[in-house]
């Protein structure tokens, strides 16, 4: 009789980094990388996450490689933005937006690490490919709108791929806030800015006329006394409204009100607030030019008027929020002491 000895079962290693039965390919390699960087507890069903100092060396190495790859891609983009885009009057808020977004992400680092890792490689892979395609297109064709916005898509893909959708829900605002640093194409800015400049010029001219000043308007050119002033894009354009809208949304995020009505109402009110702030800025510049001459209007006072714009916008935003909070029901106001 031929008796066959029973085939022993292979014991499974409790923390194996790779599956031996899975098909070799790009998707498999990506999945294995995700498994290595994510906490081991995430794949064993445990909801806890290890602190950074207690993570395996392989996790830290792969995390460092991911950060290095992101830096290799986008540090040249930031350098180009700093040289060509951010020095302009309409895009000076770019580095502030980038720094604030990075700070907001940094403040959520402990909450991010406390989340159980739920990698979604199938959802992250196409997003990552789209982000890289946007980057290559923008970099090769000198289209900064694609190059700068690709970082948001890549970051979303990395979050979903390594930590899952809970991580994306945690960091959605810093990622959304990065949109305000993406420079719009010049043609889009010009087409949207023209009616805004005309409206701001008309209202400013009427206010000055009611104040008894000898003012006349021809399109976006204001004539006051012997001076003629052109209302530029930076003084009454789309970019300044974008900056003030970003400030208002940042304020809403920091206040963390749970009232959806209050949040939506204030976000909508920021648009007319930005319009009013632009009118005040243009009026100040016209008055300074009329009383102190063209040199004063184009020198330090011109730059100072830009700070006045954001000061007025912030003050009006805080005032509008106070009014909205005053009309909230008592129960809602108690839940939102801010």
Angle of the 26-37 helix axis to the 144-162 helix axis, nearest 10:
70
Strands (E), 137-240: 215-218, 221-224, 227-230
**CA nearest to 238, candidates 185, 288, 283:** 185
Positions marked active-site: 235, 281
Walk across the sheet containing 227-230 and list its strands.
215-218, 221-224, 227-230
Angle of the 121-141 helix axis to the 144-162 helix axis, nearest 10:
160
CB atoms within 10 A of CB 150: 24
What is the 8-class DSSP label of residue 85? I
CA dist., res. 97 & res. 102, Å (int): 9
CA dist., res. 321 & res. 256, Å (int): 12
- Please list the residues that pair with 222 across neighbouring strands: 217, 229
**CA nearest to 196, candidates 248, 241, 244:** 241
CA distances from 174 to 98, 181, 184, 246, 263 (A): 9, 12, 19, 11, 17
Q: Which residues of 259-270 are buried (b: 16+ CB within 10 A; e: fewer)?
A: beebbebbeebb
CB atoms within 10 A of CB 153: 20
CA 72 to the chain's CA centroid: 21
What is the 8-class DSSP label of residue 327? T
């Amino acid at each position: 009789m031929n008796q066959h000895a029973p085939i022993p079962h292979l014991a499974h290693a409790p923390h194996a980094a790779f599956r031996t039965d899975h098909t070799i390919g790009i998707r498999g390699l990506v999945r294995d990388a995700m498994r290595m960087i994510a906490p081991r507890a995430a794949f064993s069903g445990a909801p806890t996450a290890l602190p950074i100092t207690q993570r395996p060396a392989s996790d830290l190495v792969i995390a460092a490689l991911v950060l290095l790859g992101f830096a290799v891609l986008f540090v040249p983009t930031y350098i180009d933005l700093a040289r060509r885009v951010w020095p302009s009057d309409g895009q000076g808020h770019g580095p502030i937006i980038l720094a604030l977004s990075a700070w907001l992400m940094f403040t959520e680092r402990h909450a991010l690490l406390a989340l159980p890792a739920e990698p979604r490689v199938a959802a992250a892979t196409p997003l990552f490919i789209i982000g890289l395609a946007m980057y290559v297109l923008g970099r090769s064709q000198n289209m900064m709108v694609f190059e700068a916005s690709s970082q948001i898509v890549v970051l979303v893909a990395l979050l979903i791929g390594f930590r899952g959708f809970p991580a994306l829900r945690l960091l959605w605002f810093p990622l959304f806030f990065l949109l305000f640093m993406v420079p719009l194409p010049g043609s889009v800015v010009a087409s949207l800015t023209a009616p805004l400049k005309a409206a701001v010029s008309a209202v400013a001219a009427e206010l000055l006329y009611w104040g008894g000043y000898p003012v006349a308007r021809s399109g976006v050119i204001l004539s006051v006394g012997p001076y003629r002033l052109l209302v530029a894009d930076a003084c009454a354009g789309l970019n300044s409204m974008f900056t003030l809208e970003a400030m208002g949304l940042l304020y809403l995020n920091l206040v963390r009100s749970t009232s959806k009505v209050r949040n939506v109402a204030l976000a909508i009110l920021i648009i007319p607030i930005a319009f009013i702030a632009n009118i005040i800025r243009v009026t100040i510049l016209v008055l300074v030019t009329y009383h102190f001459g063209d040199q004063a209007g184009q020198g330090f006072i011109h730059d100072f008027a830009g700070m006045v714009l954001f000061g007025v916008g912030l003050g009006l935003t805080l005032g509008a929020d106070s009014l909205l909070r005053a009309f909230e029901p008592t129960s809602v106001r108690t839940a939102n002491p801010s």
